[in-house]
């Protein structure tokens, strides 16, 4: 009996304008539009293979080699949507094999710690949807498939595209216009780099899903954020990306990370994702930009203490001069930017 198989990889994306809040929890419709950068394929990614055969007895999922339950509504919704799309094809073309009726075997593997605030669910659902769409030979484009991935995990819809990606919140109650679109491919701004500082690889204690709904229901600051701040920032950030204006992009990114964590703190009871090391990194980035008298690096934090730093490749040495000295304790690093000054500065942060 024949087995059909398809594989794909999907990279992690890190939001620079955060999605935080759902207006419809069943369909994963957000309270605001968001923007992210999808990291290069070789960095953090999920590799997923999907197979189907008339002989398979039940849908089965393996995550990093371990069988996982498929018994959750979000995964079921994605599988249902994909099977519906395949069924529509089979109805149009009777010569197609009835893959939509067969069970699926799905094997997924991350090359980074799962659920450590590194957006593993985003890469996971994106890879799941694209692998099965390939298996089913669906004609839908990535934006259409992003609506399916969105139901698995909101941020997953952005991982279907590379580079700079916007998730347009949409207006329709059925979610038909809530989808991801590419703002700029990475090769149009190839100097953009990301450094991830893994402060902790422990599982986060308040999941994004429950944390964001606590914020929606209890934070006063949140209303200002979604009604006024984010809609304005969404357009400004898209503009900064298209113009490749790093200082502007960086400022908006840092302001949005601050605003998101402020609404977490304003939730009741409050949600803390940042820890002392995260705050030290914020001060460090501020200090580095002040030291060079130019914005060369931006920080952003998702629902966890880990930092993602964005910078342009031409400034890598300038940034790493500080990072090596402070964070890895590498002694004797020689810098062309004035060792004495650098040392005095970094000593102040090492205390």
Closest distance of CB 209 from ligand DP6, Å: 3
In this complex, which beta carbon is closest to ligand DP6, that of residue 18 or of residue 318? 18
Report the C-alpha gap between 252 and 4 in whole angstroms.
46
Closest distance of CB 302 from ligand DP6, Å: 4
Question: Which of 150, 175, 174 lies closest to 161 in space, CA to CA?
Answer: 150
Per-residue contact string for residues 34-53; x = within reach of ligand DP6 by CB under 6 A: x-------------------
Q: Is 208 in the site for ligand DP6 (CB under 6 A)?
A: yes
Q: Which residues pair with 109 in a beta bridge?
A: 47
Question: Which of 156, 155, 152 lies closest to 73 in space, CA to CA?
Answer: 152
Total residues found in the chain within this entry: 351
In this complex, which beta carbon is closest to ligand DP6, that of residue 8 or of residue 159? 159
Closest distance of CB 297 from ligand DP6, Å: 20
Q: Where are the beta strands (DSSP E) in the chain?
A: 3-11, 13-17, 22-24, 29-30, 34-38, 45-53, 60-63, 66-68, 103-110, 163-168, 179-184, 192-197, 297-301, 307-312
For residue 109, is it left (φ>0), alpha (ψ between -120 and 50) or beta?
A: beta
| SS3 (DSSP) at 297 | strand
Report the C-alpha gap between 28 and 134 in whole angstroms.
24
Q: Is 254 in the site for ligand DP6 (CB under 6 A)?
A: no
Q: Is 28 in the site for ligand DP6 (CB under 6 A)?
A: yes
In this complex, which beta carbon is closest to ligand DP6, that of residue 18 or of residue 147? 18
In this complex, which beta carbon is closest to ligand DP6, that of residue 183 or of residue 323? 183
In this complex, which beta carbon is closest to ligand DP6, that of residue 210 or of residue 350? 210
| Footprint of ligand DP6 on 126-165 (CB under 6 A) | 153-155
Q: Is 252 in the site for ligand DP6 (CB under 6 A)?
A: no
Closest distance of CB 59 from ligand DP6, Å: 21
* Site size with ligand DP6, rule: CB under 6 A: 15
| Footprint of ligand DP6 on 300-329 (CB under 6 A) | 302-303
Structure tokens at 19: 């999605």
**Distances from the Cα of 21 to the Cαs of 46, 152, 263, 289, in angstroms?**
25, 15, 11, 31
In this complex, which beta carbon is closest to ligand DP6, that of residue 82 or of residue 212? 212
Q: Is 166 in the site for ligand DP6 (CB under 6 A)?
A: no
Where on the chain is the footprint of ligand DP6 (CB under 6 A)? 15, 18-20, 28, 34, 119, 121, 153-155, 208-209, 302-303
């Amino acid at each position: 009996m024949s087995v059909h198989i398809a594989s794909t990889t999907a990279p992690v994306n890190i939001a620079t304008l955060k999605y935080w809040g759902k207006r419809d929890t069943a369909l994963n419709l957000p309270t605001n539009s968001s923007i992210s950068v999808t990291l290069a394929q070789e960095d953090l990614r999920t590799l997923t293979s999907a197979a189907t055969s008339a002989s398979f007895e039940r849908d089965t999922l393996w995550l990093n080699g371990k069988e996982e339950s498929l018994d959750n509504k979000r995964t079921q919704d994605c599988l249902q949507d994909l099977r519906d799309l395949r069924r529509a094809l089979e109805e149009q073309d009777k010569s197609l094999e009835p893959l939509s009726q067969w069970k699926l075997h799905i094997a997924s593997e991350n090359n980074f710690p799962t659920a450590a605030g590194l957006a593993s669910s985003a890469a996971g659902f994106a890879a799941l949807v694209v692998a099965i769409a390939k298996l089913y030979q669906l004609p839908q484009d990535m934006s259409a498939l992003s609506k399916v991935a969105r139901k698995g995990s909101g941020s997953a819809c952005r991982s279907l595209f590379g580079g700079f990606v916007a998730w347009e919140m949409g207006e329709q109650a059925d979610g038909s216009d809530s989808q991801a679109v590419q703002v700029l491919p990475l090769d149009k701004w190839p100097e953009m780099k990301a450094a991830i500082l893994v402060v902790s690889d422990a599982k986060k204690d308040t999941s994004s899903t429950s944390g964001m709904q606590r914020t929606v229901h209890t934070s006063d600051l949140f209303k200002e954020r979604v009604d006024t701040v984010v809609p304005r920032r969404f357009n400004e950030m898209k503009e900064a990306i298209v113009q490749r204006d790093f200082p502007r992009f960086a400022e908006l990114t840092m302001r949005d990370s601050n605003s998101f964590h402020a609404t977490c703190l304003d939730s009741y009871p409050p949600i803390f994702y940042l820890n002392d090391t995260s705050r030290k990194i914020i001060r460090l980035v501020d200090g580095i930009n002040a030291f060079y008298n130019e914005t060369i690096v931006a920080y952003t934090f998702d629902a966890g203490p880990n930092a993602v730093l964005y910078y342009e490749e031409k400034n890598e040495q300038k940034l790493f001069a500080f990072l090596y000295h402070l964070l890895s304790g590498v002694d004797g690093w020689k810098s062309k930017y004035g060792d004495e000054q650098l040392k005095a500065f970094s000593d102040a942060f090492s205390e």
